[in-house]
Structure formats: C-alpha cells, structure tokens
Amino acid sequence: MYIADLHIHSRYSRATSKDCTPEHLDLWARRKGIHIVGTGDFTHPAWRKELEEKLVPAEEGLYVLKHEYRIEDGLDTGGPAPRFIITGEISSIYKKGDRVRKVHSLILLPGLEAAEVIAGKLEAIGNIHSDGRPILGLDCHDLLEIVLELCPDAIFVPAHIWTPHFSLFGAFSGFDTVEECFGDLSPYIHAMETGLSSDPPMNWRVSALDKYQLISNSDAHSPAKLGREANLLDITLSYPGLRDAVQYGKGLYGTIEFFPEEGKYHFDGHRKCSLCLTPADTERYHGVCPVCGKKITIGVSHRVEQLSDREEGYVKADAAGFESLVPLPEVIGASVGHAPASAGVQKEYIRMLKRLGTEFDILRAVPVEEIRGTSGALIAEGIRRLREGKVGRVPGFDGEYGTIRLFEPREIEETSGQMDFFDLLGMGRGSADAAGKAAMVNDTVRQEKEPKEKRDKEPVEIKMKEQQTKGQRTEAKGAVGSGLNKEQEHAMICPARTIAVVAGPGTGKTRTLAARILYLLEQRKVKPSEITAVTFTNEAARELKERIQREAGSRRRIGRLKTGTFHAICLAFLKEQGLTFSIVDETEAREIAGEAAKEAGIRITGKKLAAQASMEKSRGLPEEELSPEVKVYNRLLRERGLFDFDDLLLETLRLLEGKAADGWQKSYAYLFVDEFQDINPLQYRLVKAWNENGRELFVIGDPDQSIYGFRGADARCFARLGDDYPGLETIRLTENYRSTSEIVSSALHVISGNPGHARTLHANREGGTIVRLAGAESPMGEAIFVAKEINRLAGGIGMLEAHEAAHDQGERKIRAFDDIAVLYRTHQDAELLETCLKREGIPYVVAGRESFLQEDIVRGSLHFFRYLADELDRHAKEQSLKILWNLDRNPVSEEVFGRMAEKYRPLYAKEKPQKFLKLWMQEIQAPDNLAMKKLSQMAVFYKDMGELSDALSLGVESDLKRCGGRQYTSGAVTLMTLHGSKGLEYPVTFIFGVRKGKMPLESERYEADMEEERRLFYVGMTRAEEELILTSSGEESVFVKGMPDRIFTREQVHKKKKEVAGHQMSLFDF
C-alpha cells in the first residue's frame, strides 16, 4: 500500500515556504511516510530546471531525488526513497455565463518532457514566470483541451472543488455542474479533489459525483504540511498504475482526510464579526450578517447543501474507505496545551519519529501501548481517540481554521505527571487559552436544522427576480430599428440626400449606422451591392458587417455590401483596375525617404521626411505644390513600382477625378462614412469623388473626438460638409448609454474647456462610482497601484486577496480581466505597467503597433508571407530574400526560395496563424526569438494568415493586439494608448499618467495642440462604462483641475514605509 500526496507547491508559488525544494520535500515525505509526492508547479521554468537537476528517473513516469541532495536528519524511518510525480496547478480566472469564474485545476503528467511541452504552450497564453501556480484568463474547457491535445496521458483533476473562492463548485465563482464548466469535454474528467473542508460523506450526498473518483491531497505550501490529506493506493509503483487509480479507481483503496470541520471554509460566517453559522442560520438571516450587515461568507457545508440531492448520513455502497486524522504535532500539542509549532512539541515530535517510525505509522498503526511507553499516557490517549473518531469539532469559517479537540482543558490539567514529563522537555506549564477559545466559539454555533424545501425557497425567488430583470432589459427583436430612441430613429429614416449625424460618445453610433443600412436594405429595398460603408479600422468594418448580417438574419444575403477602411477599399479598387504595385512597409518607406533626403541635399532623417511626405500627401496637394524633397521621395517610389499608404488614396483619387476608371459608381450609390471627424483633406476629396453621382451620403462622428490632427485630420470637416452640401441635415445624438452620470459629467467638464457650442450629453445609466484620481509618488507607484487595484477589482487572484476582497467589497461587482482597460499616452508608458502586471500575475494584452514589427526578422517574414499570398509581388520576394537571407536574386537563391514558397503556400492558406508561425519559426531557426514570439502572440487574434497580414499592412493601432502571453481573446486586461482606445468601451477604465508633461504631452520640439490633447483625454474618459480611475504622480494634469467634488475624488496611494537603516527598499515595497 502506498500513500500519495499529489497536490503541493514549490517555493516559486505565492505564499509558500522557501524550504519547498526537492531536498526538503523528500525529507518531509520520509518523515511523514509518504511514498509518492507531487512536484507541484511544473509550469514554472526555474522549478522545472531545478527538478531536472536534482531528480533522476525511477519507475515509469516517477522520479527520485539524487543521493547527493538527500538531507540526512538522523531518523531511520525505513522504506524506499519517496517517488516524485510531475504535477502542477493552474488558476483560471475568466468570464463565462455573465459571471467571473475562478477555478483551479490539478494536472498530473507522465514526465518532465510532457511538462516542457505543455508549459511551452501555456507560455504563449500567459505569464508563467511570476507564480508557480500561474493565473490564466483561460476557460477551463480550453485548458483541458490543450492538456489533452499535447499529452493524452495527462490526468486533469478539478482542484479542491468546494473552496468558496477558487473551485469548480465554489460558492463565489464556481459552477453548479461539471458540464457547465467543461461542456463537451466533461467525459474526460474522471476524478475530483475534495479539498480540506469536505470529506467523502459530504460528497456522497451529491449523486452527480458518483461517477468520479474522489481524491484528497494536502495542497501544501510548506514541506511540514505534507500529508494533511493523502491517497491510499494499492498499485504497481508507476505513472500508469497511479493513473489507473486516480482516473478509474483501480487500486484507489481510500483517502486520508482532514476532519472537514477543521477546514477554514467549512461553515458560513464572518470572521471579523466572530460569527460562525450553520447553513440553516445563514438562510434565516437571508445571507446577511446580523452584526455588520454585509454579505455572509458561504462555506463548503452550505454549498454542498445547495447542490445535494441526498440526505445527510447517506452512505455510498461502493465507495472507497477513508480515515480522518490530524497531524501528529497537533496531537502532541493538544495533549499538553501548547501550540503545535512550539519548540517542545517539535522536540517530542522528532523523538517519536526516531523511536516509533513515520508520522503516518504512528497515527495509524503503531500500537497504543507502544506509544504510551514512549511518549506518555496523554499522547497515547489522544491518538486512540483520534483513531476512533472520538473528537470534539469546532468548525472553521470564513478563512479561519476550525479546531479538532482531543481533550477538554480540564482533562489536561487533571492528568497528574503529564506536565512534569513535558517540563523535562523544556516546555513550561502552558495555558489552554486556544482550546478554551475554541470551546466558546463552538458553544455559539447554532445547530438547528430546517427542512430543505424552506432553505431552497428564497434563493429560487431571488433567481427568478434576476431573470425577470434581465428580461426587462432585453430589447425586442424583429422590426428594423426596434429599440432606437427618437434621435436614432430619425437618423435611420431621414429622407435627406445628405445627412450628418453628430454622435457623442456612447450614444449608439454604430447601432444607428447599422440601423440606417438595414433600413435601406429592408424597407427601401436597396441592393447590398449599391452600399459602401467606410470605417476607420478593419475591426470596425468587420463588426459592422457582422452586425448587419446578424440583424438581417437569413432574410437576405449581404455579401456584396462593401465595408472597409479607406486604405483597404482603395487597395481593392486599384487591384480591380489592374494596377501592379507593391506596398512599402514603414521601415522601407523611411529608408527610401533617407535616400531622397540625401539626393535632395537636405539634412533630415528618413523618419521625419516620411512623416512630412505623409502630411503633405494627406492634404491632397498637387504634385507641383509638394516640397522638393517629397517630390524626390515620390519619384524613387515610382521608379521601383512602389506605393506608400497615402499613394493608395492618391492614385484612387486620380483615377476617379480623371474619369479613368469605369464600373465602380454603382457600389457607392449609398455611401456611409464612420468616424467622419477623423478624415483628412485627401479622404474628404475621396468621399466627394465617390459620392459625386451617388444618391445619398450619410456621415457620422463627433467633432469633440477628433484626435488625429497629426495625420491631417480636421475637426472642422462637419462645417465644411455643410458648406459643400447646402441641403445637409444635421442630427445630434445626445443620449449616452455607455457611462454613468459621474463619468459623463467629468468628461463634459473636461471637453467644455475647448471653444464651441455648449455640449449636451445625458447619461442614461443610473449613477455609479465617483471618478477617482489616485496620486502616487512616482510613475512606478502609479503602475503598482494599477496592478494592485486590478487584483482587488477581480476579487483577488490569490486565496488571501480573494478572502479579503470578499469582505472589503461587500456587494461590489467582481470584474473579469477583460472588463478592464488601462490607457496611456505613449507606448513607452506600457513598459512600467507590463512589469507590474507580470509581477502581480495578471494576464494582459497590448494593443497597437509596436517596435518589434520593425525588426528585420519580422519584416522579412512578413514580406515572405505577402509573397505567399500573391506570387506576382516581386518586391515582396526581393525584400524577403534580402532581409531574411541576405541574398540577391540569382538562380541558386531563386531555387531555394521557390522550394520554401512551395512548402509554405498551402500551409499559409489552411493553418491557423499561430500554428503556421510556430512552423515558420522552427524553419528559420528562431523559435526563441523575442520579436517573433511577439508576432506569434499577436497572431492568436486573427482567424487566418490573410487577416493577420492585412491587419499588419493596413490596420490602424486599435486593429493590432499582442497578448502578454495570452493565446485566447478573452480573459485579459487590455493595455493601449488613448489613440488606440477610440471606438472601444470597458466597464472599468484606468487612465495612467494624468500628470503635467504627459497630458497634454509636452515636447521641446513642438508645442502641444491643447484643443486636440483635451479631445484625446475626453475620448479616454468616455471609454469607461461604470468605473473611471485616473492615476497621477507629481503635478496633476491641467485637465482635471477644478473638477466638482460631487463627481470626482482625489486619493493618495503607495505611501512609502520608513526606511530602516541598512535596508534597501524593494521595487514593490510600497
């Protein structure tokens, strides 16, 4: 018979002992009498490296500690060396079914090789370096799928399934059924880890668990805690033998259990109010603490009661056996009225191990008489009572461990001689305060029971009310325009030839745009092929078309309805006209601009000249009015058959205005332009050209959100439109459905600093949280605050934080990571935030164009991919040869390149981007290249390589996302610039760096455009739906000065601790 403890942690996990090393785990497994012990934390790279160094293979799938690392403690407990099995725990925090879920999963693997493979996959998903138990915003279903795909022999077990905060059935963030969590993969779950606060009889009450093996483990955070719970296995010593036991019960003889009452979440209650309650008490108090009025923390017993369908006392016929024990130091301590960790108790503990054998042998098998002869009558009596289950039980609650009482205090005091014995061990006569306190708590526990029907009544009524409330908020489907307000409906049906809709933030701009298009399709029977909608981003184009198709349903096909950005539409148009050209990337444009500067004889960098050229072109200047150096730049492009992005628009405009293209007019008969405030003069001319013979023009946007002046955008474009189209009808949308009144009022206060008409924006949502400005002592202090606050908003990402958050937040909503965005002025600001989020273990994605895209290995790869998509693109071929392989075109390089293209073209067409890139990185021997890894992290957001290539070629900042290690598109905090946030919304929005010099952005080289900077800040503020949190250090931004106290509050955070002489403060010592 073997004893196995399969769920533990290394020193790389949070809140663990520094002694959680292979050496000390081996030592304590020997002391305890544990034969198989999990390694824990297989995802952590440093821990895996240490395991590889210190362990050697033993039986199949098992390891032993190398002899040179063994700690000799003078105890000869006998038996073979403990075996190690590779294990780890993953924390999944994600949103599913409109709730934030927090579930921990235990994974057992057949070896370090499998651990390396799975960890490599997970590294592309989240940060696995900062915590041995990594936190991933990954659905448990997807985690299980990944594990089984990479290692079919893996054992996947939902961990401590009843723990309130982090478990499958947890009261705060779990599910009611296995199927809710794992869906179609539920059949691959074969075992459940019951956790410290429940025992097998409690689990037997839930018939849905009958088909699962019930296992128990310690979840130890220090070596001395090994074996608090364990498994009894009658198996062949090997991974396959253990797998058969855990998965199918073959050889699972039973479990060693905590007394469930000793678990810190057994009963309900409030620790701060010293209130411990039975489930019946909690129902009687309607879930509200009678002392403080806050929500009661629901315990495991209550949660089992909610999901059970059998009465208490039910015994499962074919169940494995179990034993309930307490650690030997607790028995010794209880016998003498001293704490288990006291020096005298520990001294006696070691003495007993030396004389009697392992801890489990002493607790389970050594004759009581032998124990009496070695350690005295009271310890022997304590062990006898323990074996017979004759113990007093004081239930744990709300994070406070319960107490298992072997003796009443008077029994210890009345036992003559026992104290004298321990006096000899140097233990002095101690008080029994702890036991007395436990007895008093026990006396306050209400034990009344109520009929299950009565207990169930109120939760059912509450659930029904929630469902009814949700139903009232759901808008009716069917008729076009259902649910629109008066102004939106007017915009939908307005008969004017030219319409401008001024839509403030959160006023339903996209909805109104989609409703207008649907109205044309459904009511006016306009053909989809006659409609073109121009959007500012590729993402907006995709979402608009999907929304229209979703609303239209199966009523009609809209495939020929054209949506896209200016650049995407122009590129497609030029290709249709038969033009042959290649598009230069940003780096190549700068290189050519540098050549032009030299040829023109001016001292200017290629970067500056490229920006100057773009600005001149975006104004739509004719060739003769361009500066001499830009003319040279244009000539160099034409000589090489190249276009930059502005040339796509210019060439399209040339063909349209010169009447050199035919057959295009019909598709622009009904022209829609989104984000009209951000168009530049060149794009304005394109709109006029497209609409010259069209029937209707519909533009929508908000002058107060014009933030691209540096690209030539002009907020006065709405006024210009009125001049050019005298019959223009202007409609204003002023009902904000996104943000609370506090956020709307604060934003209006900011934008009112700009000249113009009085702004009107009404908050449709009920009042919410006041806008906060958190002041720190430094930008690092700001970043630390953001990371800590996100942890708190998520309800805590560790056991301790979750427990504290449950008390501090009361009824406050728990946020999913993807409910949260952090906005900043420049990409450099993201570096501090990334450091702190990684340190906190919070998954995140970074949106926007980053410098790694300009590295040669990435640029060369992207050129190769463009050639795969279009084999006529000779420029892409030449660039990839030059950049990737440093080769010119010649017969040898042509042959090599041809073979490579032939190999990868079919893969480009059929493989998912991340899989394709993984193969490609191996091909070019760059599996660990940081820039390529970042490209791979970006790739997971796109459905195919074509979509990724288009986003990288033509996408604006908000089209581009990179995960801070994430692979799936949900469950991560978003980091992005204020510019990149345009058009997006988040329940919680942080704006980082609201300080002088940063907002507005100041530079010695140019003067800040205060009006545009204020509009940019206004855009950032109005991304927030429910909570807006600003951070600052030093002098705060002028934009937030004078904010009314009723909607805005200031707070100071991260006060440094006083430095102690000789102590250097840590980065996170705030």
**CA 793/CA 774 separation, integer angstroms:** 15
Domain-located, residue 748: no
* Angle, CA of 611, 615 and 618, to the nearest 5°: 135
Distances, alpha carbon 691 to alpha carbons 530, 531, 533, 695, 725, in Å:
12, 11, 12, 8, 11
Domain-located, residue 125: yes
Pairing of the two strands 155-158 and 99-109: antiparallel
C-beta separation of 258 from 396 below 8 A: no
Using only C-alpha atoms, the chain has a radius of gyration, in whole angstroms, of 34
Q: Give the model's pLDDT for residue 478.
A: 46
Q: What is the DSSP letter of 267?
A: B
**CA 448/CA 538 separation, integer angstroms:** 62
Q: Are residues 698 and 558 in the same domain?
A: yes
User: Up-side HSE of residue 284: CA atoms within 13 Å toward CB?
Assistant: 14
Query: Is the preceding peptide bond at 1000 cis, omega within 30 degrees of 0?
Result: yes
Category of 678 on φ-ψ map: left (φ > 0), alpha (ψ -120 to 50) or beta: alpha
Residue 510 annotated as binding?
yes
Q: Give the model's pLDDT for residue 950.
A: 75
Task: Give the structural domain span for 523.
Answer: 486-579+646-733
Q: Give the model's pLDDT for residue 959.
A: 55
Q: pTM here? A: 0.72
Q: Give the model's pLDDT for residue 198.
A: 92
Q: Give the model's pLDDT for residue 620.
A: 84
Task: Write the CATH number for 552.
Answer: 3.40.50.300
Q: Give the model's pLDDT for residue 450.
A: 39
Q: Are residues 35 and 106 in the same domain?
A: yes
Please write the tens of the pLDDT for every residue from 464-474. Answer: 233 332 222 23
At residue 532, what are phi and psi to the nearest 5 degrees?
Answer: -130, 130
Q: Are residues 142 and 280 in the same domain?
A: yes
Domain-located, residue 946: yes
Q: Give the model's pLDDT for residue 595.
A: 95
H helical segments located in 911-981: 913-923, 930-939, 945-954
Q: Give the model's pLDDT for residue 871.
A: 85
C-beta separation of 39 from 86 below 8 A: yes
Pairing of the two strands 2-5 and 973-977: unpaired
Nearest to 797 by CA among 82, 150, 165: 165
Q: Are residues 142 and 49 in the same domain?
A: yes
Q: Are residues 593 and 635 in the same domain?
A: yes
At residue 93, what are phi and psi to the nearest 5 degrees?
Answer: -125, 115
C-beta separation of 186 from 178 below 8 A: yes
Domain-located, residue 467: no
Q: Are residues 655 and 592 in the same domain?
A: no
Domain-located, residue 391: yes
Residue 503 annotated as binding?
yes
Q: Are residues 887 and 821 in the same domain?
A: no
Q: Give the model's pLDDT for residue 929.
A: 86
Q: Are residues 597 and 566 in the same domain?
A: no
Residue 989 annotated as binding?
no
Domain-located, residue 797: yes
Domain-located, residue 508: yes
Category of 269 on φ-ψ map: left (φ > 0), alpha (ψ -120 to 50) or beta: left
Distances, alpha carbon 577 to alpha carbons 17, 117, 634, 656, 688, in Å:
69, 49, 21, 11, 20
- Specify the 3-state DSSP secondary structure of 256: strand
Q: Are residues 296 and 160 in the same domain?
A: yes
Q: Are residues 929 and 869 in the same domain?
A: yes
Q: Are residues 60 and 10 in the same domain?
A: yes
Q: Spell out the long-range contacts of 447-453 with Cβ–Cβ below 8 A and sequence spacing 24 or more.
A: 447/278, 448/278, 448/280, 448/281, 449/278, 449/280, 450/280, 450/283, 450/284, 452/305
C-beta separation of 977 from 846 below 8 A: no
Nearest to 198 by CA among 178, 220, 215: 215
Number of domains observed in the structure of the chain: 6
Among the three residues 307, 335, 367, which one is the final residue of a domain in this structure? Answer: 307
Q: Give the model's pLDDT for residue 471.
A: 28
Among the three residues 690, 716, 733, which one is the final residue of a domain in this structure? Answer: 733
Category of 680 on φ-ψ map: left (φ > 0), alpha (ψ -120 to 50) or beta: beta
C-beta separation of 47 from 18 below 8 A: no
At residue 504, what are phi and psi to the nearest 5 degrees?
Answer: -65, 170
Among the three residues 240, 275, 307, which one is the final residue of a domain in this structure? Answer: 307
Q: Are residues 253 and 390 in the same domain?
A: no
Q: Give the model's pLDDT for residue 798.
A: 62
Domain-located, residue 1065: no
Q: What is the DSSP letter of 1064?
A: P
Place of tokens 């021997």: 925
**Spans of the chain, pLDDT less than 50:** 416-478, 809, 965-970, 1056-1070
Category of 136 on φ-ψ map: left (φ > 0), alpha (ψ -120 to 50) or beta: beta
